A and B are shown apart, each in its own frame.
Chain A
Amino acid sequence: MTTTKQRPRSDAPDLAFTSMTAWLREIAGDEPDRIGLREKEFGIWRETSYGEYWELVKTVGMALWALGVRPGDKVAIHSENRLAWVVSDLATQGIQAVSVGLYSTNPASEVEYLLNHSEAKVLIAEDQEQVDKALEVRDRLPHLEKIIYMEPRGVRTYDDPALMSWDMFLTVGRQQLVETPRRFNELVDGIDLDETATIVYTSGTTGPPKGAMLSHRNLVWTAEHSTLVVAGERPPKQAEFLSYLPLCHVFGRLFDLMAALSLRATVNFAESIDTVVADLQEIQPTYFPAPPRIWEKMSAVAQIRIADGSPAKRFLSQIFLKIGGWNADRVLERGKRGLLGDVVYGIGWLLVYRSLKKKIGMGRCLRAVSAAAPIAPEILKFFMAIGVPIYEAWGMTETTAYGCINPPGDIKLGTIGRPAQDCEIRLDEDGEILARHPGIFQGYFRNPDATAEAIDAEGWLHTGDVGEWDGDHVRIIDRKKDIIITAGGKNISPSELENRLKVSPFIKEAMVIGDRRKFISALIGIEIDVVSNWAQRQGITFTTYRDLSEKAEVIELIRKQVDEANADFARVEQIKKFDLIPKELDHEQGELTATQKIKRKVLAEQFADLIEGMYS
């Protein structure tokens, strides 16, 4: 039996714009002085207005045109988040070409695969590191004609004729603009909504990455809708975004490009992933999307620092965290705090929450979203307790990140929420979640088989996630292919266990094992910052990550965490044995995907001896 639930379709009028680039043009014409982007340089956030933003996009678009990029050609962008990223993206889409984002952590072999698979004609690379990766496999890239580099440091002396500096590139663009001043606008006007705008490569926990083609319609429709869902009917006049989620991932693109344009917001580029905590404090973003990994880290850091506080501060904080937890429960039960809850929250806000939120950068946050992977309810509750309006949502590359969200006042922990406006959700016979809306992607690039598997004749996307209805909310059980069936025949969702484990601030990575095994076991990676802080206070000396992981005291500490987690599960689901991973997992060594998800197959092979050790 299949069940379908859907929100009533609003009589959606035609989309206001035919592309994100046209949308930018509208803003630039309307409010050229509004600040569109900020980039930190020598300690100062340098501002770029929407007017300047548009000029840059035009220049880069024409530069690409001058280099021979024509409608349908692919332009790859290999960089961390920065001004040039969004500019290149919108410029590429503006000249009816297709942009392809690469993760800055992609190793050379993956760069080769992605550039070849996407048939990219031009590569816009950030710096020497990325240029080197491309040059390493240069002779195996038949389609690549030009490499543009943004940072000249170290690359200046290279003599490959394909290389061109960003400054030179802009000069070419300006010349082309003089020669054909109207062409860029004509190209933008000529965009067909149903042409491909960008290819987003999925992270690929199994097998090589697949390139999801997103059309201009997908992007514009999702931009309009996601803004409505996240910011409501009356968005604030000035919204601040902190861009740190990789822009080549659909979650980052959704916020920092699409939602930002539709809200006319200011996007601030974090200096790097390591400075996000400091940048958050400075920017205090209005909307903040983050994967569970970031929320876990933030909550762990906050709790450690509270524990390190002076007795008075610690006492007060802990009391109000408890009270906050009580308040969060009230919100979960009734949808709001109620009068008593509001009063208690007000006192806590004055004493603890306000400053605590400011410290973690959530001081002015109107809506925080957790998505990209399932998050543990305890983490969500921590943030709800201190008054961060956090909502778990679900979307995927193939749905342009648009899917389900827990609406304010109707949150169910452990669910991904209700189908968002105009999104139809259905459960297949085997429980697989099917989704349908105008944001569903066009298909996988050069992979018709996978496309046919993903989208059926009626336009339903087969998401690969298995779920169930919980009232109007959807609860995800696990990825279809990840579900473990033990030797005893019991179905177990590893991610549920793993997330429960990762609630502990001491645990960074967890992989639950047990497919066709007698019992469930787990490989656990410690959170080095937190555990080393703990070890210092215990007077335990250590040298490396590996050394720390092998300390008997640390193993005992983790055992306690595992026992605590086990208490929440039935006997058969409990972790009977565990072992600590002797190294930090890393994308460049192929253990994690670019989005920091573990690659189970790789880990199972790499740590086969550890796993067998637990079962022997």
Chain B
Amino acid sequence: MRGRPGLVTAYQRDSAMLPTTTQRVWFAVFCIAMVALTVFLPDDLAMRAASAAAAAVGAIGLNLVTGWAGQISLGHAFFLGVGAYTAAALGGEPGGPLIGLGLEMWIWLPAAGLVAALAGLIVAPIATRLRGLYLAFVTLGLVFIGEHIFREWDSLTGGIGVGRSAPKPIIFGYDLSREGSFFGITLSAEQQYYLFALAVLLVMGLLAKNMVRSRIGRAFSAIRDRDVAAEIMGIHLGRYKLIAFTVSSFYAGIAGGLIWTFVGFVEPRSFSLTLSIVYIAMILIGGAASIVGSIMGAVFITFLPRIVDLFAQYVPFIEDSPTGGFLTSAQMEQILFGLLIVVFLIVEPMGLHGIWIRVRNYWKAWPFSY
């Protein structure tokens, strides 16, 4: 109803992703602005932005299982790895010493998600029988098993210290890693990566948003808030935990396939516990149980090294060279990373999204305070 946002005449409106015209317009403006941003990004920033968008897909995946369904998962690195190696195997050069089928991206990217989802599906039955700390430990075990497999399966991963090159991002014969021109605008490989990752993020983000507003999403929240109560309300715990893990792994697989394709090289040691922690930090800092929060967190964490470098130029005791000074920027980054997790958990548990909500509420309540 025009000008009467509160007048809800159907539940469809009540649970719409963008219930009001104003929201729809702003969303469109934002998307267009993000696309337009491409031409202004220098290559290094475009690369980072592309990684951030891909990482955001992974963060959304982790948020589904941890933020919404409340199942703490330290195993996200494993699923990212499964995605990355599936992509590498399916898209790699055929005929070499390593497994490679030479398929195009439109096959290997979804396949990366599906294989990771399959891995999630296999792990899920164990996870559905555990909760809390025990679940965290089981998923921790997953990371160690994964690391071991990646290290030892030389024909897939190239082995420790050697690694393998990532698949070529070719869609229907078009190679994203070569400079291309659209409507007279020349785009570098990095800028094309960014646009592609943005498109994937848009699709995956909307799908996730659609899921969490539906019956499945409500079931997730119910399980998170109190699994016993959820079960009594008729929610099949096993089924929904299974869905949560499978879908989350699918997202991780897609993200894994994308990120290492942009990087160009896959090394087995990348998929360690640290990577899992980084993703947990993304959703903690961004905001648990929020799609926008996942994106904000991923962007923030991905750009953190750049931010620290920027500091290094002005703050005397931080040096951007790897040897000199009191602190190197890499050390500073580690410290800041830990500090941020602590500060956010204590001061703003809702994350960046929580800050946004507070700012929005300040203006929404105008001219009152509540």
Which residue numbers of A lie inside 8 Å of B, CB to CB?
A: 38, 43-47, 240, 268, 281-284, 305-306, 308-310, 313, 316-317, 351-352, 355-356, 359, 363-364
Which residue numbers of B lie inside 8 Å of A, CB to CB?
A: 3-4, 6-11, 14, 362, 366-370
Chain A residues, Cβ within 8 Å of B4: 240, 282-284, 364
Chain B residues, Cβ within 8 Å of A355: 366-367
Chain B residues, Cβ within 8 Å of A284: 3-4, 6-7
Chain A residues, Cβ within 8 Å of B369: 305, 308-310, 313
A277 to chain B, nearest CB (A): 12
Contact B9 A45 (CB under 8 A): yes
Partner of B367, one of A45, A282, A317: A317
In angstroms, Cα B369 to Cα A309, docked, is 5
Chain A, residue nearest B366 (CB):
A355
Contact B367 A316 (CB under 8 A): yes
Given contacts A38-B9, A268-B7, A316-B367, 18 further A-B contacts (CB under 8 A): A43-B8, A44-B10, A44-B11, A45-B8, A45-B9, A47-B9, A281-B6, A282-B4, A282-B8, A284-B3, A284-B6, A305-B369, A308-B368, A308-B369, A310-B369, A313-B367, A359-B367, A359-B368
Chain A residues, Cβ within 8 Å of B3: 284, 363-364
Contact A283 B6 (CB under 8 A): yes
In angstroms, Cα B367 to Cα A305, docked, is 9
In angstroms, Cα B7 to Cα A363, docked, is 13
Contact B9 A46 (CB under 8 A): yes
A418 to chain B, nearest CB (A): 32
Contact B7 A283 (CB under 8 A): yes
Q: What are 30 contact pairs spanning A and B, CB under 8 A?
A: A38-B9, A43-B8, A43-B14, A44-B11, A44-B14, A45-B9, A240-B4, A282-B4, A282-B6, A282-B8, A283-B6, A283-B7, A284-B3, A284-B4, A305-B369, A305-B370, A306-B367, A306-B368, A308-B368, A308-B370, A309-B368, A309-B369, A313-B367, A313-B369, A316-B367, A317-B367, A355-B366, A356-B367, A363-B3, A364-B3
In this complex, the member of B7, B8, B10, B370 whose beta carbon has the largest number of chain A beta carbons within 10 angstroms is B7
Chain B residues, Cβ within 8 Å of A305: 368-370
In angstroms, Cα B347 to Cα A424, docked, is 69
8 residue pairs, one from A and one from B, having the closest CB atoms: A282-B6, A309-B369, A305-B368, A317-B367, A355-B366, A45-B9, A284-B4, A352-B367
Interface contact tally, CB-CB below 8 A: 57
Chain A residues, Cβ within 8 Å of B6: 281-284
A311 to chain B, nearest CB (A): 10
Chain A residues, Cβ within 8 Å of B367: 306, 309, 313, 316-317, 351-352, 355-356, 359
Contact A313 B366 (CB under 8 A): yes
In angstroms, Cα B14 to Cα A218, docked, is 42
In angstroms, Cα B369 to Cα A44, docked, is 27
Chain A, residue nearest B12 (CB):
A44
In angstroms, Cα B11 to Cα A1, docked, is 65
In angstroms, Cα B4 to Cα A45, docked, is 12
In this complex, the member of A268, A282, A363 whose beta carbon has the largest number of chain B beta carbons within 10 angstroms is A282
Chain B, residue nearest A301 (CB):
B368
Chain B residues, Cβ within 8 Å of A45: 7-9
In this complex, the member of B8, B9, B362, B367 whose beta carbon has the largest number of chain A beta carbons within 10 angstroms is B367
Contact B8 A44 (CB under 8 A): yes
Chain B, residue nearest A283 (CB):
B7
Chain A residues, Cβ within 8 Å of B11: 44
In angstroms, Cα B204 to Cα A338, docked, is 55
In angstroms, Cα B6 to Cα A45, docked, is 10
Chain A residues, Cβ within 8 Å of B366: 313, 355
B15 to chain A, nearest CB (A): 11
Chain B residues, Cβ within 8 Å of A316: 367
B11 to chain A, nearest CB (A): 6
Chain B residues, Cβ within 8 Å of A356: 367
Chain B residues, Cβ within 8 Å of A309: 367-369
Chain B, residue nearest A356 (CB):
B367
A362 to chain B, nearest CB (A): 13
Whether A44 touches B9, Cβ cut-off 8 Å, given contacts A282-B4, A364-B4, is yes
Chain B, residue nearest A304 (CB):
B368
Contact A313 B7 (CB under 8 A): no
Chain A residues, Cβ within 8 Å of B10: 44
Contact B368 A313 (CB under 8 A): yes
B92 to chain A, nearest CB (A): 54
In this complex, the member of B3, B366, B370 whose beta carbon has the largest number of chain A beta carbons within 10 angstroms is B366
In angstroms, Cα B367 to Cα A317, docked, is 7
A240 to chain B, nearest CB (A): 7
Chain A residues, Cβ within 8 Å of B8: 43-45, 282
Chain B residues, Cβ within 8 Å of A268: 7
Chain B residues, Cβ within 8 Å of A351: 367
B362 to chain A, nearest CB (A): 8
In angstroms, Cα B366 to Cα A47, docked, is 31
In angstroms, Cα B93 to Cα A387, docked, is 72
A99 to chain B, nearest CB (A): 29
Chain B, residue nearest A281 (CB):
B6
Chain A residues, Cβ within 8 Å of B7: 45, 240, 268, 282-284
In angstroms, Cα B368 to Cα A351, docked, is 12
In angstroms, Cα B366 to Cα A352, docked, is 8
Chain A, residue nearest B362 (CB):
A310
Chain B, residue nearest A355 (CB):
B366
In angstroms, Cα B366 to Cα A577, docked, is 41
B168 to chain A, nearest CB (A): 52
In angstroms, Cα B6 to Cα A284, docked, is 9
B363 to chain A, nearest CB (A): 9
B354 to chain A, nearest CB (A): 19
Chain B residues, Cβ within 8 Å of A352: 367
A536 to chain B, nearest CB (A): 14
In angstroms, Cα B366 to Cα A240, docked, is 25
Chain B, residue nearest A38 (CB):
B9
A355 to chain B, nearest CB (A): 5
A157 to chain B, nearest CB (A): 29
In angstroms, Cα B362 to Cα A46, docked, is 32
A265 to chain B, nearest CB (A): 14
In angstroms, Cα B5 to Cα A363, docked, is 11
B370 to chain A, nearest CB (A): 7
